[in-house]
Amino acid sequence: MKNLFYSVAVIFFSLQISVAQSFKFSADDINIDYEKFVLSNGLTLLVHEDHKAPIVAVNVWYHVGSKNEKPGKSGFAHLFEHLMFNGSENYNKDYFLALERIGGTDLNGTTNNDRTNYFQNVPVAALDQVLFLESDRMGHLLGAIDQERLDEQRGVVQNEKRQGENQPYGIQYDLLVKSLFPKGHPYSWTVIGEMEDLNAASLEDVQDWFKAYYGPANTVLSIAGDIKPQEVYQKVVKYFGDIPSGPTITRQEVNIPVRGGDTYQVYEDRVPETRILFAWTTPQNGTREDLHFDLVAAILSSGKNSRLYKKLVYEDQIASSVNAFQYSAELCSVFIAIANVKPGADVEEVQSKLLFEINNLIEHGPTQAELDRVRASYFATFIKGLERIGGFGGVSDILASNETYHGDASYYKDQLKYIEDATIEDIQAVAQKWLTKGKHILICNPFPNYSVEKSVVDRSKLPEVGTPKSAKFPILQRAELSNGLNIILAERKGVSTIVMNMMVNAGYKTDILSKAGTASLAMNLLDEGTKKMTSLEINEKLQLLGANLSASSDLDISYVSLNTL
C-alpha cells in the first residue's frame, strides 16, 4: 500500500511539472453568454443557457442591504430577509419546504451591507413554480405578515445574533466596524444589527421597507440552466409583469473614511488563542485598486508559499493560522490581515513579524513568481465557478452581482483584466497608497483560566409541475495500465476543468491494531514532501496550475483527488 501511495503522488506531481511552464491566462478568453431583458416595470432579467443537466438556477438580487437602514433601525434588512421565507398572500406557507418538495437544492437567502439575495437550483420542470413563489413574495407579501409572524422571526434573528456572538471571536467584526467607521456612516453597524433596534422593529417598519426597496425596478433576476431566453422572458413577464415598479432608489456615494493614524483595541473572549487583526479602509468594490488588493491578500496568505504562512506558521512556528482578505463593498472596502498566536508564543513577536511582512511588501513589492502564482489561483477559482450555474460564485451569481453593483452583467471581464494586467509596480503602489494611512489594530485575548467548583396568473393554486427531463450522462471509457491500474474516463465538454479521483481498496480497517491511524496518516502526508520536492514546492506547483489536491481514508477505501484546469 505504501508503494501505491507513492506512485499516486508521483503521477499527480509529474503531471503538474509537465504543464506548469506553459499555463497562461487571458481575460479575453473568458466569456459568459447571456441575454438581458428589462421589463416595462423596470425588472432586469438576465438569462444564461447551460444544457449540461435538466436544472435551472434562479437568483434574485434586491439592491438593498444594511447600508440602507436608518440609525436606530439596524438589522432590518436581515430581519426582512427572514420574513420573505415565511409565506406570501397566495402561498402562505414555508418557502423552504415548498422548494425542497420540488427538488430544490443550494437554496438560501443572504444579506450583506449592499444587497439581499434569494437563490435556488430546481429541476427545469419546476421553473414555473419557482417563478410563482418569487413573484408572489415580491408583489404579494404584506398581507401575509402579521404581528405574530414578525415577533417569531425577530426572535429567530436575535437567537442567530446570540449564537454568532458566542462563537470564538464572534464579536470582532462588531467591534471592528464601530472603530473603522464614524458614527452615522452606513457601514458603522453590523448587518445583523443591535438587539434594541430589532426589538423596536414594527409592522409599519416592515411595510415601509417592503414598499421602498422590494420593487421590480430595484431587482435583478438572473436565471441560468437548461432553458431558452425567449421562453424564460415570456414566463417572467407572465409572473412579474403586473407588479408595480416601486420607487426609484438613489445610489449612495462612495464614502471612504480618512484615517489620521493607527487606533488600538484589546478585548477578552472565550477563545483558545490570542488573535491579532489589522484592518485598513480601502477603495470600493470593482475598482482596479480593489481587485489589486485581492492579489495583495493572496500574496500574503494564500497557500503555504504565501509570505505570512511561510514565515509565521511554517518557518518560525509562532502562529497557528494566518489570513488576509479584501472585503469588497460599494461605499468602502476593508483590507484585513489576521494571525492567531500559537499557544506559548510571544504575542508581541507575532504582531511585530506580521507587520514586518506587510511593510516588506509595501517597501519592495512582490516578486514576479508570487504575482504569477496568485494570478493563476484567481483565474482558476473564477473559471471553476463557471462549472456551476447557481450558488455563490456560480454563473447566475456572477451575472447578478455585476449587474446589481455595476449596471453591467459582463463587468467581470473588466475585473479579470485588472487581474491579468496587474504588475509588480501596481501591487506595490496600491499597498503603499492605502496600507500606510493608518490601521485599526484589534487584539482578542483568551480569558484567564479560572478554576471553579462544579394577476393573469391563477394564484389560488400552484402551477402544475411539468414532466421531468431525463439527465444525459457521458459514456464511460475504460482502460487498464500495464501495472493493473484501472482507468475510467467520463468526458464532458464545457468548462475546461479536469477532476481526477483515485480509489485504493484499503482503508483504516487494514491498519495494524497497534498502529491505528496509519492509513489516514499516509494520506495526510501525500503533499508534505517527496524525495524530489518539499511541501512548499508541491504547494507552489499546485497553485501555478490552479489545482486542488486532497486525500483521505474511510473504513474501506482511501481516496486521492485532483481538480485542475
pLDDT in tens, 184-205: 999 999 999 999 999 999 999 9
CA 321 from centroid of its chain's CA atoms: 20
User: Could you read off the pLDDT of 511-529 as tens digits, one per residue?
Assistant: 887 788 888 888 888 888 8
Residues in CB range of 445: below 8 A, 6 or more apart = 266, 267, 268, 269, 271, 274, 347
pLDDT at 223: 98
In this structure, what are the phi and psi dihedrals at residue 210, rounded to the nearest 5 degrees?
-60, -45
How many whole angstroms separate alpha carbon 198 and alpha carbon 157? Answer: 8
Largest CA distance in the chain: 74
pLDDT score of 21 more than 90: no
pLDDT at 116: 97
pLDDT at 497: 85
pLDDT at 468: 87
> What's the mean per-residue pLDDT of the chain?
92
DSSP-based three-state secondary structure for 419: helix
How many CB atoms within 10 Å of residue 175?
Answer: 16
pLDDT score of 445 more than 60: yes
pLDDT score of 11 more than 60: no
In this structure, what are the phi and psi dihedrals at residue 10, rounded to the nearest 5 degrees?
-60, -45
| Of 155-169, 218-232, 392-406, 490-504, the least confident | 490-504
How many CB atoms within 10 Å of residue 548?
Answer: 15
Helix H or strand E segment including 546: none
- DSSP string for residues in 491-535: ---SS--EEEEEEES--GGGS-GGGTTHHHHHHHTTTSB-SS-BH
pLDDT score of 6 more than 50: no
pLDDT score of 75 more than 70: yes
CA dihedral (503, 507, 512, 515) positive or negative: positive
Going from the N-terminus, what domains does the chain have, and what CATH number goes with each?
Answer: 2-25+473-564 (3.30.830.10), 31-240 (3.30.830.10), 263-387+407-446 (3.30.830.10)
Better-predicted residue by pLDDT, 505 or 329? 329
* Mean pLDDT, residues 63-70 taken together: 96
β-bridge partners, 45:
37, 221
User: Could you read off the pLDDT of 37-59 as tens digits, one per residue?
Assistant: 999 999 999 999 999 999 999 99
* Mean pLDDT, residues 295-305 taken together: 96
How many whole angstroms separate alpha carbon 34 and alpha carbon 222? Answer: 10
pLDDT at 490: 86
User: Could you read off the pLDDT of 82-122 as tens digits, one per residue?
Assistant: 999 999 999 999 998 989 898 888 899 999 999 999 999 99
The DSSP symbol for 66 reads G
pLDDT at 23: 56
How many whole angstroms separate alpha carbon 150 and alpha carbon 147? Answer: 5
pLDDT at 519: 85
Residue 562 in grid coordinates = 485532483
pLDDT score of 343 more than 80: yes
pLDDT score of 494 more than 60: yes
- Report percent pLDDT > 70 for the chain: 96
pLDDT at 333: 98
pLDDT score of 30 more than 50: yes
How many whole angstroms separate alpha carbon 509 and alpha carbon 517? Answer: 9
Q: Whose CA is closest to 100, among 63, 141, 71, 133? A: 133
User: Could you read off the pLDDT of 409-432 as tens digits, one per residue?
Assistant: 999 999 999 999 999 999 999 999
How many whole angstroms separate alpha carbon 127 and alpha carbon 54? Answer: 11
Angle between helical axes of 203-213 and 76-83 (0-180°, round to 10): 90
How many whole angstroms separate alpha carbon 435 and alpha carbon 214? Answer: 38
DSSP-based three-state secondary structure for 228: coil
Assess contact for 480 and 487: CB atoms under 8 A: yes
